[in-house]
Structure 1
Amino acid sequence: MLNASEVRLSQNSVSYNKVDRTTGEKYTYDDLVNSMKTNGWKGEPIDVVKMPDGKITSMDNTRISAAREAGIEVKATVRSFDEPLTPEMQKARNWEQYQTWGEAIQGRINNQSGKFSELNPYGAEQSPKIRGKK
């Protein structure tokens, strides 16, 4: 288990309205926070990458942000920066252009808007903006 506040984020925003990839059920960011407050961490561990500076950055920004708000720790699989991606992972996440976890997370960081990657080359400590909340 990791302290959610010690895990950096690879995106500058997350969506408020969500759809469960397995069930197709709709839910909101607030639903996730409330579930975590009530039930703790549920579901599979998130993938995090140990960056060249020794700190951890997450590929799953919504659950890290929600866990911070809920005040819970997160289950995570820590990947090394140079760890190869499996062909299955490359296909499932549309990461065919990346060979390692480090390349994948740097690609995500570099694709963010504004000066995110310039200001946060290994990920951001601040929580992301929640897009779509009314």
Structure 2
Amino acid sequence: MLKDSHECAPPLPEFLLEAQALLAKSEDCLSHLNLIRNDEEAINCLLASLQSLAQIAARHAISPLAEFALHIHGVLERTAHPVDLNDPILDALRSCLTLMAWQLELVDPHNGQLNLDDSEQLMLIGELTQQVTQNCTCAYPSCSH
């Protein structure tokens, strides 16, 4: 997970600042969704922030963070719109963002390396997927109702 082959990417300290800002924006969107359920603008903001975070992490070859953000985005994007974000889904999303913030703190600021076991990511993605699927009332193939 080193950034050795990405010469055109901005320096790592700039990545960390941008990633922290995107994560904070995602957390703000989630807080807004706790107050105003299913607000389409907040959902779109969350999706856009997660996608941007995944893109900048990928540019810096920080795969665990990029893949985690893409998985969260994918679970939310495959649902019916507007998705019914109930408390269990919002709690699962908050857990995902909390882990992402912790992982961002673990990125080595000198070489961009993030070595970690992805088991917690997989567990949280599974939990989010399960909550979304249980709440799904759509006719999409990703929904098992």
**Superposition TM-score, scaled by structure 1 size:** 0.30
**Superposition TM-score, scaled by structure 2 size:** 0.29
Does 1 or 2 have the higher relative contact order (CA < 8 Å, sep 6+)? 1
More strand by share: 1
Larger radius of gyration: 2
More helix by share: 2
